[in-house]
């Protein structure tokens, strides 16, 4: 490790100078393994693994076998491991490969190499049940909790030679496959090596994440990191309930969850949206009803409206349905949402369970959230120009009309500038002294004022010379034998006119 003091000086043609000094510490970075070794080999077959190791300093690397079978060889220059295991070597073998750079810093890669019989392992892993008895889902936030149990079987003729992973996922598009960029892993675990042929093992995992809807079936993905060679990998992923009959009623299970309230149309109307989910075993055609009530329908609640699904819902799929609530009382309500309810308490289907058909959530129509002020971007103008401030980006969550109040928070020394049209959406001033002008905007929705938002105008005299300014930040560490570069950023020069400034006042 070494320490270096670096000083950078920038000067302009008029004699202005700016200097910055920094201390840079350089240290050696050890090599790093970026490849993964094969973990299985058959007895009587040669094993070979050439690692990929990188060193950011470009040092020459040397490899050694720190631990491994006595007859395993390593090439010190390339790190290639070669070994011919025999039948007496069947079983696991810990291996540690070490790489050292020219400065003596080392890194290690450790793994367990398993030797199988000469015929190779015949393994086929399959989830046979996904038990969701202890799974909880908050019907409003959709937060997952509790545990899920995955039972799996080795259908092959040999025991599983290496540990393997089990992932539980939310199949977002309900297509029965795992798409890493789309689907969400909500539980993860590891099953140890040694699951014997024909035997069933189980693993229970805690859940964390968000479900698609209340009662949504989860999917289990066995050997999700693909470390076990299998003769059939098409059965590695299964959805909960896949092993249950679909031709013996009841097979339908509709659920309701996730109420959203849109108050922007008040006082004339509010919009209610909730999620209808298919937690059953069969695909359902369009037309499934979702009823919305003000209050408990079993205790005198009033029907608000019924929405019908417009999509075909496969198992694990959902649709958000919406009703308009006309002239609601501006008060706090409890909304009940009931799946498979035509508005009179009757439905279309006989279901597996009706306990998940309904849920309730509060809808406070009296709640009025404060509006949000937006004073617009900061500006840079030439001295004497007009600066215009536009609050059109301000908004009210309920869509109420806004009033505007602009004020000057600070002026540069010597300025007598006045803010014009301070009670409109667009205010303006003329700069009369170099420096910063800070304006503040507060909007009001008739009930609440917003928090203040500010915008700053920097007025500069284009004829005045200013020394250059270093606006970039250097890197504070470097590596030996690696070129250190610091491209300092040149100062930004102001144009005589900026796009937000004008030599004329804005129209009245």
Assess whether 358 and 343 both reside in one domain. yes
> Residue 347: left if φ>0, alpha if ψ -120 to 50, beta else—which one?
beta
In a domain, 281, yes or no: yes
- Write the DSSP string, 198-219: T-EEEEEEE--SB-SSTTPPPE
Q: Residue range 15-27: average pLDDT?
A: 76
For residue 44, give the nearest of 80, 75, 90 by alpha carbon: 90
In a domain, 488, yes or no: no
What gap in Å lies between CA 84 and CA 72, rounded to an integer? Answer: 8
What gap in Å lies between CA 420 and CA 161, rounded to an integer? Answer: 80
Assess whether 418 and 293 both reside in one domain. no
- Burial of 278 from C-beta contacts in 10 A (0-12 / 13-18 / 19+): buried
For residue 218, what is the domain's CATH number?
A: 2.60.40.10
In this prediction, residue 480 has a pLDDT band, given cuts at 50, 70 and 90, of: low
In this prediction, residue 227 has a pLDDT band, given cuts at 50, 70 and 90, of: confident
Q: Is the pLDDT of residue 176 over 70?
A: yes
In a domain, 15, yes or no: no
Q: Is the pLDDT of residue 496 over 60?
A: no
What gap in Å lies between CA 456 and CA 440, rounded to an integer? Answer: 9
Q: Are 374 and 390 contacting, i.e. CB atoms less than 8 angstroms apart?
A: no
In this prediction, residue 481 has a pLDDT band, given cuts at 50, 70 and 90, of: low
Q: Is the pLDDT of residue 196 over 60?
A: yes
3-state helix, strand, coil in the chain (%, to 5): 0, 45, 55
Assess whether 507 and 450 both reside in one domain. yes
Assess whether 400 and 504 both reside in one domain. yes
For residue 191, give the nearest of 127, 95, 239 by alpha carbon: 127
- Write the DSSP string, 441-502: EEEE-SS-BPPPEEEEEEEE-TTS-----------SEE-TTS-----PPPPPPPPSS-TTEE
pLDDT at 417: 95
Q: Residue range 203-222: average pLDDT?
A: 96
Strand ranges in 172-309 using DSSP code E only, listed in sequence order: 184-191, 200-206, 219-222, 237-239, 254-262, 269-278, 289-294, 302-308
Q: Residue range 415-442: average pLDDT?
A: 95
Q: Residue range 477-501: average pLDDT?
A: 56
* Structural domains counted in the chain: 4
What gap in Å lies between CA 59 and CA 467, rounded to an integer? Answer: 43
Q: Is the pLDDT of residue 59 over 60?
A: yes
pLDDT in tens, 431-470: 999 999 999 999 999 888 999 999 999 999 888 766 676 7
For residue 10, give the nearest of 489, 478, 475 by alpha carbon: 489
Assess whether 413 and 312 both reside in one domain. no
Assess whether 301 and 430 both reside in one domain. no
pLDDT in tens, 66-124: 999 999 999 999 999 999 999 999 888 999 999 999 888 999 999 989 888 887 778 99
What gap in Å lies between CA 489 and CA 347, rounded to an integer? Answer: 69
Q: Are 160 and 198 contacting, i.e. CB atoms less than 8 angstroms apart?
A: no
pLDDT at 2: 60
The pairing of beta strand 237-239 with beta strand 289-294: unpaired
Edge-to-edge strand ranges of the sheet holding 40-42: 40-42, 106-116, 91-100, 62-67
Q: Is the pLDDT of residue 493 over 60?
A: no
pLDDT at 392: 94
What gap in Å lies between CA 212 and CA 277, rounded to an integer? Answer: 8
Q: Between vectors from CA 16 to CA 11 and to CA 22, what angle results, nearest 5°?
A: 55
Q: Residue range 309-316: average pLDDT?
A: 95
- Looking from the CA of 345 toward its CB, the CA atoms found within 13 Å total 7
The whole domain housing 284 covers 256-364
pLDDT at 118: 86
Q: Residue range 356-360: average pLDDT?
A: 96
What gap in Å lies between CA 321 and CA 392, rounded to an integer? Answer: 32
In a domain, 231, yes or no: yes
Q: What is the mean pLDDT of the chain?
A: 90
- Looking from the CA of 402 toward its CB, the CA atoms found within 13 Å total 28
- % the chain with pLDDT above 90: 68
Residue 186, C-beta contacts closer than 8 angstroms, at least 6 positions apart: 144, 168, 169, 170, 207, 208, 209, 210, 218
Using the 3D structure, point to which of 364, 379, 405 is the last residue of a domain: 364
In this prediction, residue 40 has a pLDDT band, given cuts at 50, 70 and 90, of: confident
Tokens for 432, please give them.
């009369």
Tokens for 314, please give them.
């496969």
Predicted TM-score (pTM) of this structure: 0.61
Assess whether 141 and 78 both reside in one domain. no
In a domain, 203, yes or no: yes
- Write the DSSP string, 127-160: EEEEE-TTEEE-TTT-BEEEEEEEEEEE-SSS--
Using the 3D structure, point to which of 92, 116, 140 is the last residue of a domain: 116
Which of 30-34, 322-326, 427-431 shows the lowest mean pLDDT across its residues?
A: 30-34
Q: Is the pLDDT of residue 296 over 90?
A: yes
Using the 3D structure, point to which of 90, 116, 142 is the last residue of a domain: 116
In a domain, 21, yes or no: no
Q: Is the pLDDT of residue 1 over 90?
A: no
In a domain, 156, yes or no: yes
pLDDT at 477: 64
pLDDT at 153: 97
pLDDT at 499: 40
pLDDT at 504: 58
Assess whether 262 and 336 both reside in one domain. yes
- Counting every residue, how long is the chain? 508
In a domain, 147, yes or no: yes
Q: Is the pLDDT of residue 38 over 90?
A: no
What gap in Å lies between CA 178 and CA 421, rounded to an integer? Answer: 58
Q: Is the pLDDT of residue 180 over 50?
A: yes
What gap in Å lies between CA 439 and CA 454, rounded to an integer? Answer: 6
36: three-class secondary structure by DSSP: coil
Assess whether 306 and 353 both reside in one domain. yes
**505 secondary structure, DSSP code:** P
Dihedral, CA atoms, 168, 172, 174, 179, nearest 10 degrees? Answer: -70
What gap in Å lies between CA 481 and CA 141, rounded to an integer? Answer: 54
**506 secondary structure, DSSP code:** P
Assess whether 440 and 458 both reside in one domain. yes
pLDDT in tens, 385-405: 999 999 999 998 877 899 999
Q: Is the pLDDT of residue 191 over 90?
A: yes
Assess whether 352 and 375 both reside in one domain. no
In this prediction, residue 502 has a pLDDT band, given cuts at 50, 70 and 90, of: low
Assess whether 440 and 306 both reside in one domain. no
Which of 49-58, 179-188, 487-496 shows the lowest mean pLDDT across its residues?
A: 487-496
- % the chain with pLDDT above 70: 92
């Amino acid at each position: 490790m070494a320490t270096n003091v670096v000083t950078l000086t920038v000067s302009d043609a008029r004699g202005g100078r700016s200097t910055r000094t920094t201390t840079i510490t350089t240290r050696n970075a050890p090599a790093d393994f970026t490849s993964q070794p094969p973990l299985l080999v058959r007895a009587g077959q040669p094993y070979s693994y050439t690692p990929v190791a990188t060193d950011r300093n470009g040092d020459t690397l040397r490899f050694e076998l720190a631990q491994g079978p006595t007859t395993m060889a390593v090439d010190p220059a390339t790190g290639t491991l070669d070994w011919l295991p025999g039948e007496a070597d069947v079983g696991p073998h810990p291996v540690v490969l070490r790489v050292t750079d020219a400065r003596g810093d080392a890194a290690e890669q450790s793994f367990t190499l398993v030797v199988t019989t000469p015929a190779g392992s015949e393994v086929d892993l399959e989830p046979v049940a996904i038990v969701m008895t202890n799974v909880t889902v908050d019907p409003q936030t959709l937060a997952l909790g509790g545990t899920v149990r995955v039972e799996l079987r080795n259908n092959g003729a040999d025991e599983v030679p290496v540990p393997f992973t089990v992932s539980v996922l939310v199949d977002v598009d309900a297509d029965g496959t795992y798409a890493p960029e789309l689907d969400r892993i909500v539980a993860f675990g590891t099953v140890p090596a040694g699951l014997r042929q024909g035997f069933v093992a189980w693993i229970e995992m805690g859940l964390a994440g968000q479900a698609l809807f209340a009662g949504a079936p989860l999917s289990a993905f066995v050997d999700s990191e693909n470390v076990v060679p299998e003769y059939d990998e098409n059965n590695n992923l299964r959805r909960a309930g896949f092993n249950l009959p679909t031709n013996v009623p009841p097979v339908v299970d509709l659920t309701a969850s996730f109420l959203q309230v849109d108050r922007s149309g008040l006082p004339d109307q509010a919009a209610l949206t909730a999620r209808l989910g298919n937690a059953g075993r069969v695909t359902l055609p369009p037309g499934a009803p979702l009823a919305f009530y003000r209050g408990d329908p079993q205790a005198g609640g009033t029907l608000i409206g019924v929405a019908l699904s417009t999509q075909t819902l496969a198992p694990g799929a959902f649709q958000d349905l919406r009703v308009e609530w006309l002239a609601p009382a501006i008060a706090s309500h409890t909304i009940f949402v009931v799946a498979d309810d035509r508005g009179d308490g009757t439905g279309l289907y006989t279901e597996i369970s009706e306990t998940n058909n309904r849920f309730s959530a509060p809808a406070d129509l009296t709640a009025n959230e404060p509006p949000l002020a937006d004073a617009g971007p900061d500006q840079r103008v030439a001295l004497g120009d007009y600066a215009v401030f536009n609050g059109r980006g301000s908004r009210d969550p309920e869509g109420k009309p806004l009033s505007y109040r602009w004020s000057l928070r600070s002026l540069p020394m010597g300025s007598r500038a006045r803010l014009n049209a301070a009670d409109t959406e667009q205010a303006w001033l003329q700069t009369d002294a170099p420096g910063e002008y800070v304006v503040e905007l507060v909007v009001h929705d008739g009930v609440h004022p917003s928090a203040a938002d500010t915008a700053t105008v920097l007025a500069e005299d284009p004829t005045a010379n200013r020394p250059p300014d270093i606006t970039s930040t250097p890197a504070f560490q470097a590596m030996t034998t690696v070129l250190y570069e610091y491209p300092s950023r040149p100062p930004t020069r102001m144009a005589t006119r900026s796009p937000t400034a004008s030599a004329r006042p804005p129209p009245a």
